[in-house]
Structure 1
Amino acid sequence: MPFRGRSAPRIAGRGTAMAVGAAMVVITGLAAAPALHASPSAVGALRWAPCDDPARPGAECAALSVPVDWARPGGPRFDLAVARRKAADPGARVGSMVFGPGGPGDSGVETVVRRISRFSPEVRRRFDIVSFDPRGVGGSEPVTCSADLLAERPSPELRRQADFDATVAYNKRLRADCRARTGPVFDHLDTARTVRDLDALRAALGERKLTFHGSSYGTLLGARYVETYPRRVRAMVLESVMDHSVPTARAFLRSSAAAAQDSFQEFVKWCDGAPGCALHGRDVRAVWRSLLARAGRGELEDPAKPGASLSTSDLVNKIAFRKFYRPDHAGLAAAIAGMDASGPLPPSPTSAAPLPAATPVFCSDWRLPVRDYREYASLVAMMNTTAPDLPHLLPLHMAAACLGAPTANPQHRLEVRGAPPILLSNALHDPATGYPWAVSVARQLGRGGVLLTYEGHGHGSVTSGPCMEDAVDGYLTDLAVPPRGSGCPAVPS
């Protein structure tokens, strides 16, 4: 399918798994990571052995020894968990392509071992697909914290200065606990350090230049890598792009809310025009508002846990937001219709949502200071104005969890010189990484930034139909850069 020439339109503005033990919880993006048969590697070496997952054969695992602190390369080290699947057609092999997982908190090892189908057949044929668990995640020194302390997390619905102060104090206690249980890597989790890990992996793979595909939070890693090592890049795809230049908490939360609200508006528009929508012919917003009200009173039953109440936050983030990712408009409509038809539970209190995966990683990358309760309340009001249908969005939870936290790798505009063309891919209606972020990062990359627009919905776009897939495959395999302003039509979901 040919590319569609276009000018950029103006638009307003993956789940946490926790393995809980008796006394602590390991915060990871992977509930049960494939075991590494390979012994810890020597510096710069990768000793591959089959991963411990007989149900999904063909993947190999290894461990790469890297410094805890790259400023002290002779100091303590830890092993980075790595996995690969070799190119299906060795005779057509281009090299290794490293995948940067999202989250933060997603496991690249899990992606390679269990979800290799997320890559196109051509990429699987032509590349060894390699990924890793970023430091602090999965098999790479995962952040470990007290389960009891995590269960005490205060609600982000702060109502007074005392609540604000209590949250800051709680965050401090939690960081101290996680640091003590995790070890020295806890203070070195930011993406600037992970960039050094990524370059060590490139060298260990024997690749003179890096071929990279970063998705969602992995685009922050890719953008920082090309800024740090521009001449070590062969090709780089940034899919569902995060803009690490967003300067303030207000700007970050506003842009996040605008992206989510845009996806809700697209859902309502779809339902109004689709006879197959389970809410077709009804006032979708009115039905949704009634569910929000019932959830706020603790009267809405959790479809996944009969007899248990569903919080407003979980209704927004675990029901609606997750459906926007795929996207699954029909599934969301059916879920809303089912909850609307359900009988009310006796009113009961709802608890705060679990701590998002790898929050310490996020806090080390994003400086989102909030002075006091008054400013926090103004941010909540701004988000409710920007996204009136989606209160308690996850970015607000993240901002609350980072109150008082130090930031090792704060936001800044990219400065890239000497890099090859970088291909950015973003859906026009992405609920988590809004299209304006992709436009911004492409501009920061200057002449080297080429944005390919998927004119549809969802978080992730490189395999959204043959047009997108062919464009990305051609770039990765043959370095064929799509014309500027290219777009691909939406594929019916």
Structure 2
Amino acid sequence: MRKTGPLLAAAMAALVGLTAFTPAQAAEPDAATIEWAACASPRERYECGTLTVPVDWKNPAGPTVDLFLSRQRATDPAARIGSLLVNPGGPGLSGATFATFDFFSPEVRRRFDIVGFDVRGTADSNRVLCSADLIAQYPDTFIENQAELDHWRDFSSRARADCKSRTGPVFEHLDSVSVARDMDAVRAALGEEKVTYYGISYGTMIGQAYAEQFPHRIRAMALDSVVDHSAGGERYFRDTAAHVQDVFDAFVKWCAGETRCALHGKDVRAIWARLKDRAERGELGGMSKAQVLRIIFNGSYAPAWYSAAEQIARLDTSAPPAPLRAPGDIHFPWQLICADFDMRIRDHREYAWQLRRAKAVAPDMEFNPSTLTVNSWCLSEPRPIPYPQHRLRVRGAPPILVVNSRHDPITGRAWAVSVARQIGRAARLLTYEGVGHGVYDRSDCTISTIDRYLIALKPPAYRASCPAVPLEPSTQVREPQDFLRRDLTDRPTPRH
């Protein structure tokens, strides 16, 4: 049976972008070295190191940024295939931390060095720094009129200027194309002729950017819970709303058939509508409607539907949400998303129109709360953005594995189908027929199928699937980023 699935966030949004991206003609990057040393306690059995790369890959003689890496050596050196580069998404979750987890199967860890690096602008790779006092003042992400939109635009402009001044030159170069160039430099520094890569959620953006630039340098690439970078404008709002409505519909159906669901035998949709109305009237102890929506949104990552049902039942009887945590807004390195997705809107009329279109496909959920958060932060991003939305252009790549759950609250299966079509004949689509964000460790079937591809380069048939496994009552509703929230007491750091 599966382990607890990863609780990862993929907070991203988009407006229309039409820039074409073609494979990079850059020569093999200089084989810079990584100075490996034992990580500090408590992870001293792993290696840590840094790799220096240009801030701006178009100006290699300019300022540089040090990428922080960690490596978990293959447990059977004689059977070692090479390095498996990994990224857990977020964006902004620590790849270096993720690489030290025993996340992958024993066979993958036997055959590969697991290598992760903190993406530029995150964790220990020149992370984006902002004034805590300023960020704590951010307004409600649900914008109700033009005055509130103007206030948000002013706030996001001030926040952007503050973070840029504290972070330095790398702030303007956080796009996935730059990160993909970083990953190719890591590949070269590891001495690998081709890259083997596994990325989750926003980590699939890095993989897609790499496949566009360096298709002939791919050995294997597994994209798990896929972001569709071609979704822009109204379609992005509609898609993300449809994704979270889909998991709500699946939740209602599950509860109707599961006697242990705290709402079993009740009209779940009526209770849900009542909670949203009460939140708008201020009757839920300060919880906003967006925070109510996060009960289902967050609760579908693991998934944690037993706990979500219990929380909804408590709120419906006016009891406080404790001991379950009341959902809150996700905090993330928003500039990474703003560099990849054009989020700006003209005025509140356009904003309200997009929400109405979203509600048409999501009558219960209305909108995806993560979409509103990201949209607000990126309102003042100057044009042109570094990596605007476009259809993938991948030419000459080997088989690429695209993986998604049937029901995913943020990267719905429709996005995976779209990305697989854009990649073309090289793509293989694997569907986990259950709920959740992050597929690899959902079941024996998902593990063995992805392992076979990574190890033996044997992808599944087109449109393969793995059956769902029963949900676990013990799983709790958590913020998506709690899975890899940065913990200084349990993080791989170099030994000095």
Q: Any residues of structure 2 matched to 1:261-276 within 5 Å, and which?
A: 261-276=245-260
Given the alignment, which residue of 85, 88, 97 partners 1:110? 97
> In the alignment, which of 346, 352, 359 is matched to residue 334 of structure 2?
359
Aligned counterpart, 2:63: 76
**Equivalents in 2 of 1:272, 1:484: separation in Å?**
33
Structure 1 CA distance, aligned partners of 2:280 and 2:97? 36
Aligned to 2:296: 320
Residue 391 of structure 1 and its aligned partner are, at CA, apart by: 4.5
1:262–1:416: structure 2 CA closer, same or farther, 3 Å change rule?
same
Which of residues 264, 269, 275 is equivalent to 1:280?
A: 264
1:62 pairs with 2:62:
no
Structure 2 CA distance, aligned partners of 1:355 and 1:185? 23
Pair 1:381-2:353 in alignment = no
Q: 1:396 aligns with which of 349, 372, 375?
A: 372
Compute the displacement of 1:447 (Å). 0.8
TM-superposed CA distance for 1:409, in Å, is: 0.6
Taking a change above 3 Å as real, the CA distance of residues 366 and 174 of structure 1, as seen in their structure-2 partners, is same
8 Å CA contact retained: 2:31, 2:185: no
Paired residue type of 1:197: D
Deviation at 1:52?
2.4
8 A contact 1:453–1:487 mirrored in 2: yes
Q: Which residue of 2 aligns with 1:10?
A: none
Q: Where does residue 434 of structure 1 map in the other structure?
A: 412
- Structure 1 residues 152-161 or 324-333, which shifts more? 152-161
Contact 2:131 2:163 in 1 (8 A): yes
Between 44-53 and 63-72, the greater mean CA deviation after superposition: 44-53
Q: Hey, what does 2:32 align to over in structure 1?
A: 44
Partner of 2:476: none
1:141 is displaced (CA, Å) by 0.7
Higher relative CO (CA 8 A, sep ≥ 6), structure 1 or 2? Answer: 2
Aligned to 1:199: 184
Secondary structure (helix, strand or coil) at the match of 2:91 reads coil
**CA offset digits 1:4-50 (Å, max 9, x no partner):** xxxxxxxxxx369xxxxxxxxxxxxxxxxxxxxxxxxx971111122
- For residues 281 and 39 of structure 2, what CA distance do their matches in structure 1 show? 47
Does the 8 Å CA contact 2:53/2:67 hold for their aligned counterparts?
yes
Look up the equivalent residue of 1:327 and give its one-letter code. Answer: P
Mapped pair 1:225 → 2:201: no
Aligned-partner Cα distance in 1 for 2:127–2:320: 40
Q: What is the alpha-carbon distance in structure 1 between the residues aligned to residue 306 and residue 283 of structure 2?
A: 24
CA apart distance, 1:365? 0.1
Asked if 1 retains the 8 angstrom alpha-carbon contact of 2:220 and 2:454, the reply is yes
Compute the displacement of 1:231 (Å): 0.7
3-state SS of paired residue (2:223):
strand
Against the structure 1 CA distance between its residues 127 and 338, is the aligned structure 2 distance closer, same or farther, given a 3 Å change threshold? same
8 Å CA contact 2:142, 2:372 repeated in 1: no
User: Deviation digits for residues 273-308 of structure 1, max 9, x if unmatched?
Assistant: 11111111111122222332333333325xxxxxxx
Which of 409, 417, 423 in structure 1 is aligned with 2:387? Answer: 409
Q: CA deviation at 1:474?
A: 0.6
State the distance in 2 between where 1:184 and 1:250 align. 32
Identify if the C-alpha distance between structure 1 residues 50 and 389 changes in structure 2 by more than 3 Å, giving closer, same or farther.
Answer: farther
Separation of aligned partners in 1, 2:36 and 2:190: 11
Deviations 1:226-265 (A, max 9, x none): 110011000000000111111x221111101101110011
Contact 1:313 1:391 in 2 (8 A): no
Amino acid of the structure 1 residue aligned with 2:331:
P
**Does 2:397 correspond to 1:419?**
yes
Distance 1:162 1:300, change over 3 A: closer
Letter of the 1:418 partner, please give it. Answer: G
Counterpart position of 1:329: 305
Q: CA deviation at 1:436?
A: 0.9
Show the counterpart of 1:39.
Answer: none
Q: CA RMSD in A?
A: 2.2
Q: Assess if the C-alpha contact under 8 Å between 2:195 and 2:219 holds in 1.
A: yes
Match of 2:80 in 1: 93
Would you say the 8 A contact 2:196–2:218 is kept in 1?
Answer: yes
Q: How many residues align?
A: 439
1:45-76 CA-partner distances (Å, limit 9, x unpaired): 1111222241x452221111111111111111
Counterpart amino acid of residue 355 in structure 2: V
Q: Distance in 2 between matches of 1:262 and 1:121?
A: 34
Partner of 1:490: 468
Contact 2:187 2:195 (8 Å CA) reproduced: yes
Amino acid at match of 1:70: W
Aligned to 1:166: 151
C-alpha distance in 2 between matches for 1:58 and 1:340 = 49
SS in 1 for 2:84: strand
Structure 2 equivalent of residue 23 of structure 1: none
Paired-residue identity, %: 48
Q: Would you say 1:293 and 2:277 are equivalent positions?
A: yes
Q: Unaligned regions of 5+ residues in structure 1, if any?
A: 2-13, 17-41, 302-308, 346-351
- The residue that corresponds to 1:258 in the other structure is 242
Match for 2:38: what amino acid? P
- The offset of 1:101, in angstroms, is 2.5
Helix, strand or coil: the match of 2:358?
helix
Give the counterpart letter for 1:314 in structure 2. Answer: Q
How far apart are residue 368 of structure 1 and its match?
2.9
TM-score by length of 2: 0.84
Distance (Å, rounded) in 2 between the aligned partners of 1:43 and 1:168: 43
Partner Cα distance (1:492, 1:436) in 2: 23
Q: Deviations over 1:146-204 (max 9, x none)?
A: 12211222223223222222222221111111100111110111111101100000011
Displacement, 1:321?
Answer: 1.4
Match of 1:431, SS state, is coil
Q: Which amino acid aligns with 1:47?
A: E
One-letter amino acid matched to 1:133 = D
Structure 2 alignment gaps of length 5 or more: 2-7, 11-29, 322-326, 472-496
Q: TM-score, normalised by structure 1?
A: 0.85
SS at match of 1:45: coil
